[in-house]
């Protein structure tokens, strides 16, 4: 029940439209009942011989309540209402000859059906407004919360699964809520209206009709529970499909290079086959409810026809027109009841989908600012690593050492403002993890990072990251114009500043070679650019941000020689008058660093300038240098 309450919280802002939809639903139900009730005077006008022989007076006399068995008090009052309504119809419609009465009935039927359809449209439209607004807000809530989560969360989750929750799961909630709100209000009202009409005509026949309801509800409940369980599994299957699709498309070059098209196709077909089987099982359960409830209804219908036929033919306690009106009312109850069975099944499906959506929203961010966090507007003095140790959560084994051992162990050093610090070491030694602690993508397990005398955990995250620019080996660009990619994160930026940043990054020349220049859309992840061009756009972005602290993570390792020269020139401009942290496999790019830290298995094993480290022939730095330049 808590799941449905949480969904309703997203509906609450649209209560005015929901209220309007409910009001129109009430009128729709009333006019639907009238449209059925009007069949009684219509049939009496056309086929009742009393009218033909005795005129309107005969019909008015015939609407007196029949001397039936003693009815329950509620039914007695309903019969009184029926008598009043019948007398009103008789006094207005049954005047003049049969042709006059027929004309009046036709006009009333036309008006009633017109009002029924108008109110039906209005209640559906108002509900659609609520539905689409709720879905918009829910998707926005998920997306907004995702941006509050730390990097460790995304290391544990598959991208395709997250996309599936924002798209497929929310779509299921949308479809279910739309159906549920409409049917949970409209269908019970329709059932109630038709039930009242049936009770007014014959309470005995009505009791027989509703005897089938408890059996039907029990059957629906059993199916609903199984649907909820299977729907949750089906959403996981569609998430698997989305993951394979996302990974294959983003890595299409690698797939083709290794000739793995058939392998990936086979893997995708296995996932779609699993989803196919699961959906067939759900379809079998869902569609089983309709024929079963219909057959149970037909059993009740046959009994009604037999019992009611005796009252008409043998006992004379029902007029033929009333019996036909009763049948119309009872059979009009069947579609709403069948729709209610679908609602229950849909609600179970939406509960499973909503559980997956809310599991994202309920995930607390592990990295967040304290309420009284310090706001930094500039970097003045130093950054200090004080006895820093770090290990990733054990549930992300791809990021940790054996048995979840520490990735960083007792790191101690201080970087003064304006220094260029190089971090080198073999792959997997903890270099990237170390610099990821500076913008507080992660927090140390032990120890602390101190910036200008403040523990990073006491600093507002947004103000901290505003002081830092990052350029990595894997350049992240967006499917937007070159101008907007350079000015990313800056709402108001002058054109001349963008061009100046591009020139400093050696990017202006190739940008102007495109027909649309800075307005060129570069495709998904910058697919229309070369690796060196993407890297220079990333550097231009960092230059435009103009942060006092720069982090460069393997910024030139994936480039050819010509591109590397251009990028290296841009990097040197980027590091001017800034405190910089540089990770590089190519040691030629770090020779001029103020200090070089050599890290291996999470421990700093050497530190010093290039010249100082080269004077240690047995050290790792000397070995790495020899491997690159002398072998």
Contacts of 363 by beta carbon, 8 Å cutoff, 6+ apart: 145, 149, 153
Higher pLDDT, 612 or 405: 612
Please count the CA atoms within 13 angstroms of the CA of 394 that sit on its side-chain side: 4
Whole-number percent of the chain with pLDDT over 90: 3
The CA-based angle 73-74-80, given to 5 degrees, is 90
Q: Nearest-CA neighbor of 388 among 444, 452, 459, 451?
A: 444
Q: CATH top-level class for 2-132+148-361?
A: mainly alpha
- Low-confidence winner among 72-76, 184-188, 287-291 (lowest mean pLDDT): 72-76
SS3 for 390-437 is ECCCCCCHHHCCHHHCCCEEEEEEEEECCCEEEEECCCCCCHHHHHHC
* pTM (2 d.p.): 0.64
Give 513's DSSP letter.
Answer: T
87-92: long-range pairs with CB below 8 Å, 24+: 87/60, 87/63, 89/41, 90/56, 90/59, 90/60, 90/63, 91/60
Higher pLDDT, 474 or 60: 474
Q: How confident is the model at residue 88 (pLDDT cuts 50, 70, 90)?
A: low
| Calpha distance 322→275 (Å, rounded) | 52
Assign a CATH topology to domain 475-550+559-577: Rossmann fold (3.40.50)
Contacts of 489 by beta carbon, 8 Å cutoff, 6+ apart: 545
- Low-confidence winner among 4-18, 221-235, 600-614 (lowest mean pLDDT): 221-235
Tell me the domain boundaries of the chain: 2-132+148-361, 475-550+559-577
Burial level of 22, CB count in 10 A (0-12/13-18/19+)?
middle
Q: How confident is the model at residue 450 (pLDDT cuts 50, 70, 90)?
A: very high
Tokens at 631, concatenated? 């072998």
How many residues are present in the chain?
631
Instruction: Report pLDDT digits (tens) over 536-587.
Output: 888 888 888 888 888 888 766 555 555 567 767 777 777 778 888 888 766 6
| Calpha distance 498→87 (Å, rounded) | 83
Q: 450 forms bridges with which residues in the sheet?
A: 384, 455
């Amino acid at each position: 029940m808590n799941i449905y309450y949480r969904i309703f919280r997203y509906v609450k802002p649209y209560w005015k439209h929901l209220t309007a939809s409910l009001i129109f639903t009430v009128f729709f139900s009333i006019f639907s009942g009238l449209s059925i009730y009007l069949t009684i005077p219509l049939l009496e006008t056309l086929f009742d011989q009393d009218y033909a022989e005795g005129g309107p007076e005969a019909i008015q006399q015939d609407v007196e309540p029949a001397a039936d068995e003693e009815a329950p008090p509620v039914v007695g009052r309903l019969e009184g209402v029926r008598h009043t309504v019948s007398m009103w119809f008789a006094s207005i419609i049954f005047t003049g000859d049969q042709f006059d009465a027929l004309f009046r009935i036709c006009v009333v039927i036309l008006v009633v059906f017109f009002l029924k359809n108008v109110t039906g449209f209005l209640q559906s439209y108002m509900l659609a407004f609520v539905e689409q607004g709720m879905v918009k807000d829910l998707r926005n809530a998920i997306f907004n919360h995702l941006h509050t989560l730390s990097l460790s969360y995304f290391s544990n989750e598959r991208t395709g699964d997250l996309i599936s929750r924002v798209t497929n799961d929310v779509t299921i909630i949308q479809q279910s809520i739309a159906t549920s709100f409409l049917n949970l209000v409209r269908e019970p009202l329709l059932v109630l209206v038709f039930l009242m009409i049936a009770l007014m005509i014959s309470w005995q026949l009505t009791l027989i009709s509703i005897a089938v309801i408890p059996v039907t509800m029990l059957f629906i409940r059993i199916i609903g529970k199984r649907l909820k369980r299977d729907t949750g599994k089906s959403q996981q299957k569609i998430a698997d499909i989305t993951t394979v699709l996302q990974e294959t498309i983003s890595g299409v070059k690698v797939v083709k290079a290794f000739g793995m098209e058939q392998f990936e196709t086979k893997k995708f077909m296995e996932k779609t086959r699993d989803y196919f089987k699961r959906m067939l099982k759900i379809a079998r359960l869902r569609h089983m409810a309709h024929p079963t409830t219909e057959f149970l209804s037909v059993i009740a219908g046959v009994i009604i026809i037999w019992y009611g036929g005796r009252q008409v033919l043998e006992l004379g306690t029902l007029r033929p027109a009333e019996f036909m009106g009763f049948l119309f009312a009872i059979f009009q109850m069947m579609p709403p009841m069948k729709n209610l069975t679908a609602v229950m099944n849909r609600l179970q499906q939406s509960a499973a989908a909503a559980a997956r959506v809310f599991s994202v929203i309920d995930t607390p961010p592990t990295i967040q600012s304290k309420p009284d966090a310090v706001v930094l507007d500039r970097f003045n003095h130093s950054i200090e690593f004080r006895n820093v140790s770090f290990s990733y959560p054990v549930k992300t084994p791809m990021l940790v050492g054996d048995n979840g051992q520490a990735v960083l162990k007792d790191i101690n050093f201080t970087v003064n403002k304006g220094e260029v610090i190089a971090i080198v070491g073999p792959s997997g030694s903890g270099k990237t993890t170390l610099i990821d602690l500076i913008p507080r993508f992660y927090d140390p397990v032990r120890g602390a990072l101190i910036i200008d005398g403040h523990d990073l955990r006491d600093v507002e995250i947004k103000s901290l990251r505003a002081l830092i620019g990052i350029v990595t080996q894997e350049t992240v660009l967006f499917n937007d114009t070159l101008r907007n990619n350079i000015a990313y994160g800056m709402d108001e930026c002058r054109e001349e500043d963008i061009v100046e940043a591009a020139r400093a990054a050696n990017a202006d020349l190739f940008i102007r070679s495109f027909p649309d220049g800075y307005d060129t859309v570069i495709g998904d992840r910058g697919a229309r650019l070369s690796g060196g061009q993407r890297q220079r756009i990333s550097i231009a972005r960092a230059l435009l941000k103009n942060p006092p602290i720069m982090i460069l993570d393997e910024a030139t390792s994936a480039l050819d020689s010509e591109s590397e020269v251009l990028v290296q020139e841009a990097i040197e401009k980027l590091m001017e008058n800034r405190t910089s942290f540089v990770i590089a496999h190519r040691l030629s790019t770090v020779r001029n660093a103020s200090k070089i830290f050599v890290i291996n298995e999470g421990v700093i094993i050497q530190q010093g300038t290039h010249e100082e480290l080269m004077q240690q022939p047995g050290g790792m730095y000397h070995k790495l240098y020899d491997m690159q330049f002398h072998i």
